[in-house]
């Protein structure tokens, strides 16, 4: 339960931070509390749109001093809407989006308000990438803290395996950098422990070579919904026998342009266009006959899916929500 902080205390907080403090009576409050999942309707006590780590430290110390609950908003993409919370002080990191790529040592340092689209864009210019998610609008912060799996994970591991360091504001308002050789316990906990161990303000990742053009080839394959169990069993057997450059994922659902079915966007890396026929031939006669192989830049792959399908304001029914409420909202 959050103790309400006095209005005067929030005024002091507003004066102490570089970013904006937005309260329920302020214009822009509804816009600021909105997250990716339009089903989420939380009313925080205040939102601070932090400009830098100093703002984050100030917010954490304020929350401690006044007994206010904190919610941390990284990319705001969590389907359960955990980046905002009723009566909480939201530490909104969405303005903290600077990125530094170090091509020499193949690393990228990204502020915790970045989306994966931001990071892929920055690293692709150097022919590099770190394993991220399937779509570009997901936040770097909690995807990483939760593990992180995407197109490159089969070859280069989970996002969290590629995390080299994290700058963290701890619950007592102190700051530290966690790495394997420094605050090792914290570093271990952050890699999968979610937002429970402090507010991460930036992440440093190892990058991998995705080739000069960063080309991905692949595409969706559709199957009849009725055959789902058989296709999934076949897929589970098949994938381990294929090279790690190739990855896939499985979706069940209705698609607007065709019958209900299961789809596999399939990807591999930096294959010259001249080799596409060879790859097509590999799948000829298999249960991937209609694979629409096309080349696309890795940096565009996740962006295309974000733009086409998973736009902000998409409504995701979360397990604790009643379906009837979801339907009512959807009909509006
Ligand atoms: C359409 C869709 C596609 C997805 N695709 C993938 C995918 O391909 N691969 C995958 O692995 N996951 C995927 N996810 C899951 C995604 O990783 C999680 O939803 C994750 O929570 C999003 O991170 P975020 O920073 O945007 O979260 P937010 O909504 O900002 O925050 C969620 C939680 O994380 C904590 N948090 C956020 N930032 C910080 C921080 N800087 N420090 C400490 N705690 C913090 C908060 O406390 C909050 O509780 C997908 C989700 C959706 C909705």
| C-alpha to C-alpha distance for 99 and 12, rounded to whole angstroms | 31
* pLDDT score, position 259: 47
Instruction: Work out the widest C-alpha separation in the chain, in whole angstroms.
Output: 72
Question: What are the CA-CA distances from residue 147 to residues 159, 186, 299 (Å)?
Answer: 6, 15, 21
| C-alpha to C-alpha distance for 303 and 316, rounded to whole angstroms | 19
* pLDDT score, position 235: 82
| C-alpha to C-alpha distance for 267 and 246, rounded to whole angstroms | 5
- Three-state SS for 148? coil
A 10 A CB-CB count for 134 gives 18
* pLDDT score, position 1: 44
* pLDDT score, position 308: 65
With b for 16 or more beta-carbon neighbours within 10 A and e for fewer, the 29-46 pattern comes to beebbbbbbebbebebbb
With b for 16 or more beta-carbon neighbours within 10 A and e for fewer, the 178-208 pattern comes to beeeebeebbebbbeeebebbbbbbbbbbbb
- Ligand 1 mutation target, pool 86, 139, 204, most atoms within 8 A of CB: 139
Q: What is the pTM of this model?
A: 0.89
Nearest to 232 by CA among 211, 197, 208, 261: 261
Residues of the chain where predicted confidence (pLDDT) is lower than 70? 1-4, 219, 253-273, 276, 279-280, 282-294, 306-309, 311-332
The 8-class DSSP code of residue 267 comes to: E
Ligand 1 surroundings by CB, under 6 angstroms? 35, 72-79, 82-83, 93, 112, 133-135, 138-139, 141-143, 145-146, 148-150, 195, 199-200, 310
Contact 312, 117 (CB under 8 A): no
- Ligand 1 mutation target, pool 37, 97, 141, most atoms within 8 A of CB: 141
- Ligand 1 mutation target, pool 32, 71, 74, most atoms within 8 A of CB: 74
* pLDDT score, position 264: 56
* pLDDT score, position 221: 75
Residue keyed to tokens 């905002």: 84
* pLDDT score, position 178: 98
Quick one: tokens of 194? 């979610």
Sheet holding 99-102, edge to edge: 99-102, 107-111, 199-206, 163-169, 175-179
| C-alpha to C-alpha distance for 280 and 289, rounded to whole angstroms | 9
* pLDDT score, position 121: 94
Closest-lying ligand 1 atom to the alpha carbon of residue 75: 26
Handedness of CA 161, 164, 167, 172 (dihedral sign): positive
- Three-state SS for 268? strand
Q: Which domains does the chain have, with CATH numbers?
A: 7-92 (3.30.43.10), 99-209 (3.30.465.10), 215-308 (3.30.310)
Strands (DSSP E) contained in 133-245 are 163-169, 175-179, 199-206, 208-209, 215-218, 222-224
Contact 330, 315 (CB under 8 A): yes
The 8-class DSSP code of residue 191 comes to: T
Please give the full DSSP string across 97-146, using - where no structure is assigned.
Answer: --EEEETTTTEEEEETT-BHHHHHHHHHTTTEE----SSTTSBHHHHHHT
Partners of residue 48 on adjacent β-strands: 21, 91
């Amino acid at each position: 339960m959050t103790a309400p902080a006095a209005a005067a205390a929030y005024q002091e907080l507003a004066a102490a931070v570089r970013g904006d403090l937005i309260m329920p009576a302020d214009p822009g409050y509804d816009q600021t509390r909105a997250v990716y999942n339009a089903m989420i309707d939380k009313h925080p006590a205040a939102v601070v749109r932090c400009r830098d780590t100093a703002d984050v430290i100030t917010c954490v110390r304020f929350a401690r001093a006044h007994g206010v609950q904190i919610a941390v908003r990284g990319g705001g993409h969590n389907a359960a809407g955990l980046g905002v919370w009723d009566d909480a002080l939201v530490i909104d990191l969405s303005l903290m989006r600077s990125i530094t790529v170090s091509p020499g040592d193949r690393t990228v340092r990204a502020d915790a308000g970045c989306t994966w689209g931001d990071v892929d864009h920055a690293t692709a210019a150097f022919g590099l990438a770190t394993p991220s998610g399937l779509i570009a609008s997901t936040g770097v912060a909690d995807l990483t803290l939760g593990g992180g799996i995407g197109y490159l994970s089969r070859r280069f591991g989970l996002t969290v395996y590629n995390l080299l360091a994290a700058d963290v504001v701890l619950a007592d308002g102190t700051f530290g950098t966690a790495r394997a050789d420094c605050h090792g316990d914290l570093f271990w906990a952050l890699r999968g422990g979610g937002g429970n161990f402090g507010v991460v303000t930036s992440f440093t990742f190892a990058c991998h070579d995705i080739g000069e053009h960063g080309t991905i080839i692949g595409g969706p394959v559709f199957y009849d919904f009725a055959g789902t169990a058989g296709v999934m069993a076949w897929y589970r057997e098949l994938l381990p026998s294929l090279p790690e450059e190739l990855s896939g994922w499985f979706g069940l659902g209705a698609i607007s342009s065709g019958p209900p079915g299961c789809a596999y966007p399939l990807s591999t890396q930096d294959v010259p266009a001249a080799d596409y026929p060879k790859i097509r031939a590999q799948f000829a006669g298999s249960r991937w006959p209609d694979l629409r192989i096309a080349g696309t830049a890795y940096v565009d792959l996740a962006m295309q899916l974000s733009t086409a399908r998973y736009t902000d304001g998409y409504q995701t029914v979360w397990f604790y929500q009643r379906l009837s409420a979801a339907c009512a909202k959807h009909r509006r």
